[in-house]
Each structure stands twice: as structure tokens, then as C-alpha cells.
Structure 1
């Protein structure tokens, strides 16, 4: 019992215990800040963009599918604009991509005007494509829920390396996998998509800090 002297207990509480707590919190933070990849290496939308101006690579992208009836998910798009777009418009390399079938340009222009009435649309991207190309692109997500008339109420989160991000232990999903976020549910957008976007951006921020630290370390040793 002599080991547990008053002096040693005080030293433990002042120095060793805080260090252990810091290490445990650091490990927990690292686990928290990594958003799961649910489908790796999906097709980059640049492969089906006739204008060759739209791409997923090097961008954090929310993808949604408007379908043949553009108004099907109209309210969901307004939710997405209010709860997600306006909160992340200042984030770097952020965009929302809305894909629609060829021939729906008039309806889409009307929708853009409605969304843009009180919104800076600089990071909204609308892209037309053929039925076959839209289906091929969506199939690469490996999502079990099919498109209905080329539309879905779900929005999908794509990272800078063109991987589909989501959740592997989502309590509301049948098998735990969350591929997309229901745009018609404000609680899903607020409680899941917004949080997951923040996690993804923190993941990039942490990686950026680590790269800079490694560069500084190499510089110190003359590498």
C-alpha cells in the first residue's frame, strides 16, 4: 500500500488521468468522424453529361433525381434547399445536382425560378440526360430501392472520390444500410443528412491537418 502515497495519487490525478482521458476521447473522435462508404466507385456523372461541364470528382455532392414529373418531389426539393443547401452554401466544393430526363427543360426552368426566388442558386446544378443513362448512373449506387418513373424521394451524398456515403447501422433502415436521405422528411434532413455532411467535412478537415502536420515533420528532418 506504500505505492499509493498521497503524492503519487495527486500526480496521477493531475497528469496521468487527464492524458488517458485525452487518448480515449481522441480515439472516439476519430471513429466518429469517418462517415461510412456504402457503395464505392460509383459512375461519375461526367460520363453521362452531354455538356461535359458537370462532375462529381473533387466535389461534395447531393444528388437527386427529378423524374418525368418534375413536380413529384417538388416539396422535397424545397426542403432540401432550406434545410441543407442554405446551411452549406459557403462550404468549399459543395453542390446539389438535380438530374432530369431530356425534354423536361421547360418544367425544370420553372422549378429553378421558384427555388431561386429567395436563394442564391450558384451551387445548384441541373443536368439533363437520357432515360438509359440516368438508369445506368443510378444502378451504380447499388441501392435496393428502384427509381419510379426516373424519380426517387431520396437524396444521395457523394464524396470527393465519387463514393456513395451513408450509414451502415441506421436504426430506421431494414438492414441498417442508409443509401439515401428522404427529402420529404425534415427530421431526416435535419437529423441525418445535415449531421452526416458535417461529419464528412470534418473528415476532410482532419485529413488536411494531418497532411500539413506530416509535411511539417518532414521539413524538420530535412526530407
Structure 2
């Protein structure tokens, strides 16, 4: 009798836990708003590059010339976001740097590999003018600092659209998430990453069901 109750409890609890995992965010399975559509520069950059933006859910950051400072903040993303979701299919983190920062990448990846795998944290090496061009293509009211860097990380969907919050309680339109703010990473950013992953998983399930 005890085993039967245990089995019934497991059958009940596991679906509930899964539901709570994907619905814990304030948007509760609602699609994460599209703030900007068809970021063409990303598509152009993917050509001839080891990084493919199309058909990927991408968390995009700009380290520019300031890798040493920004990587400290990036570890917040690693611990709160990347370590949890890096094994999801079609998920990646992409960081943009200048050529003089390349030699510093390996140490950063080695730190990631201590707790997960750095395979899906990728880097794009661009000259300053192209970094500015890429950032402008996001079409926001934000700007890079003097080192071509920002504390913000952006969510780009599989169709090259910028996702975020259109009615954030603090900012109104929220284009990016502050890597230096652990509370924001743990709360809003984690919430929205879960939402967009759930969105695509549900869309995939619906597609498979319609094919059968």
C-alpha cells in the first residue's frame, strides 16, 4: 500500500513541478513581447562566422574592449542563467569583443567548464565600427560606453527579433537585462528566459501533434 501511494504521489508531483518551473514567471506562458523585428545585421554577421543566429535563442552581450570588467558581471549570468539552460537545444550565449581581447577568452571558458560546458557560450570578434553597427541594429534608445561595452544582455529569438518587456514596472520598455544586478538576473532575466524557452517548447509540441 505504501509503494502504491508513493507512485501516485510521484505521478502527481512531477507534472506539478514541471508546470511551476515553466509558469513561475509573471507572464505565465504568455509570449515574451517582440520589441524589434528582423535584425538583419545579425543574419549578415552569421555568414562566414562560427556563430549562427538563425534558429537559435540567443542571449547577446557586448564586452567590447572591456572584457576583464564585463566578464565579472557575466559570471552572474553564468551562475543564474547559463548553468541552468545551456543544455537546451538551440540555446546559446553570444558575446561580442574586439580583436585585442581574444587572448582572454580561454580563461573565461575554463571557468565555465568547471561547473558546466562552455560549448554554447560563443564569441564574435569584430572591429569597433562593426560592433557599433551591430549594436545599432538592435534599434533601441541605448548606447555603448567608451569601451564599446554595456552591462546589458539582450534576448534574440530564432527569427532575429529582439525580445523583452513592453510594460516593465520599472523601465516601461525593457530592451536588455543588467548583468551587474544579481537581483535582476535572478528575477526578471531568469523569468523571461524561462518564458521564451517554454514558448518554443510548446510550439514544437503543437507542431509535432499536428504532424501526427
Which whole-Å CA distance do the structure 2 matches of 1:142 and 1:152 have between them? Answer: 15
TM-score (structure 1 length as normaliser)? 0.76
2:65 to 64, 68, 78: 68
- Return closer, same or farther for 1:111/1:202 CA change in 2, 3 Å cut-off: closer
Alignment check: 8 A CA contact 1:38 1:164 kept = yes
Which residue of 161, 164, 183 corresponds with 1:163?
161
Moved over 6 A (4+): none
- The 3-state SS of whatever aligns with 2:168 is coil
- Of Structure 1 and Structure 2, the greater strand share is in 2
1:14-33 CA-partner distances (Å, limit 9, x unpaired): xxxxxxxxxxxxxxx99842
- Unpaired runs of 5+ residues, structure 2, are 1-25
Q: Tell me which structure has the larger Cα radius of gyration.
A: 1
Kept in 2, the 8 Å contact 1:63–1:96? The answer is: yes
Structure 1 spans left out of the alignment, 5+ residues: 1-28, 217-223
The number of residue pairs the alignment matches comes to 186
The two structures have a TM-score, normalised by structure 2, of 0.80
1:32-111 paired onto structure 2 within 5 Å: 32-48=29-45, 51-111=48-108
State the distance in 2 between where 1:200 and 1:95 align: 13
Name the CA distance, whole Å, in 1 between partners of 2:27 and 2:124: 36
Q: Is 1:199 paired with 2:200? A: no
